[in-house]
Amino acid sequence: MNILSQRNFRKLWVTTIVVACFSDAFAQTHYKVTDLGHLDNSNLGCAMGLNNRGWTEIMEGQMPPGKEDFVVALLGGRAAIDIDGINFDLGTLGGKNSFVNYGGINERGQAVGYAETGVKDPNGEDICAFGTGLTCRPFFWQNGSMSALPTLGGNNGQASAINNSGQVAGFAENGDVDSTCPANTTNNRIDLGVLWENGKAQVLLPLGNDQDSEAVDINSQGDTVGYSGTCSGTANHAVLWEYGSPISLPDLGFLGSNEAYGINDQGQIVGTVSNGTFFSAALWEDQTLTVLKALPGDILALGEAINNQGLVVGSALDSQFKWSHALIWINGKPINLNKLFPENSNLYATMANQINDKGQISGMAVVLHGPHTGEIDAFVATPVDESFGRSVADVVGEHPQFDPPADFKKLLLSRTAGHGQSVR
So what's the pLDDT on residue 403?
56
- Is residue 5 classed exposed, middle or buried when 0-12, 13-18 and 19+ CB atoms within 10 A define those classes? exposed
So what's the pLDDT on residue 322?
76
Q: Strand 111-120's sheet: what is its strand order? A: 94-99, 111-120, 134-142, 145-148
- Bridge partner residues of 248 (DSSP): 239
Checking if the pLDDT of 28 tops 70, the result is: no
In this structure, the number of other CB atoms found within 10 A of the CB of residue 374 comes to 12
More reliable by pLDDT, 197 or 404: 197
| 331 band by pLDDT with thresholds 50, 70 and 90 | confident
So what's the pLDDT on residue 172?
97
139: Cβ–Cβ under 8 A, 6 or more apart, which residues? Answer: 79, 90, 93, 98, 112, 113, 114, 115, 146, 147, 148, 149, 159
Checking if the pLDDT of 369 tops 80, the result is: yes
The pLDDT tens digits of the residues spanning 54-65 come to 999 999 987 765
CA 300, 304, 310, 311 torsion-angle sign? negative
The pLDDT tens digits of the residues spanning 388-407 come to 889 999 988 776 655 554 44
More reliable by pLDDT, 70 or 415: 415
Tell me phi and psi for residue 54, to 5 degrees: 85, 5
Indicate the number of domains in the chain. 1
So what's the pLDDT on residue 356?
97
Q: Measured between alpha carbons, how far is 255 from 121 in angstroms, rounded to an integer? A: 31
The pLDDT tens digits of the residues spanning 96-155 come to 999 999 889 999 999 999 999 999 999 999 999 898 999 999 999 999 999 999 999 999
Residue pair 265/308 in contact by the 8 Å Cβ criterion: yes
More reliable by pLDDT, 159 or 319: 159
| 258 band by pLDDT with thresholds 50, 70 and 90 | very high
In this structure, the number of other CB atoms found within 10 A of the CB of residue 394 comes to 14
Checking if the pLDDT of 367 tops 70, the result is: yes
Among the residues of 321-399, which ranges form H helices? 392-396
Q: Lowest-pLDDT range, 59-73, 110-124, 237-251?
A: 59-73
DSSP label at residue 342: B
Q: Lowest-pLDDT range, 4-8, 50-54, 339-343, 391-395?
A: 4-8
- Nearest Cα to Cα of residue 34 among 377, 409, 279, 396: 377
DSSP-based three-state secondary structure for 85: coil
| 44 band by pLDDT with thresholds 50, 70 and 90 | confident
More reliable by pLDDT, 274 or 28: 274
Q: Measured between alpha carbons, how far is 242 from 234 in angstroms, rounded to an integer? A: 23
Tell me phi and psi for residue 111, to 5 degrees: -135, 155
Checking if the pLDDT of 373 tops 80, the result is: yes
Q: Measured between alpha carbons, how far is 43 from 255 in angstroms, rounded to an integer? A: 36
Checking if the pLDDT of 19 tops 60, the result is: no
Residue pair 31/328 in contact by the 8 Å Cβ criterion: no
Range of the domain at 225: 3-421
DSSP label at residue 10: H
The mean per-residue pLDDT over the stretch 277-297 comes to: 94
- Nearest Cα to Cα of residue 163 among 216, 204, 219: 219
CA 294, 298, 303, 307 torsion-angle sign? negative
- Nearest Cα to Cα of residue 170 among 235, 125, 127, 226: 226
Q: How far is CA 123 from the centre of its chain?
A: 28
The mean per-residue pLDDT over the stretch 195-223 comes to: 97
- Please report, for the domain that includes residue 411, its CATH number: 2.130.10.10
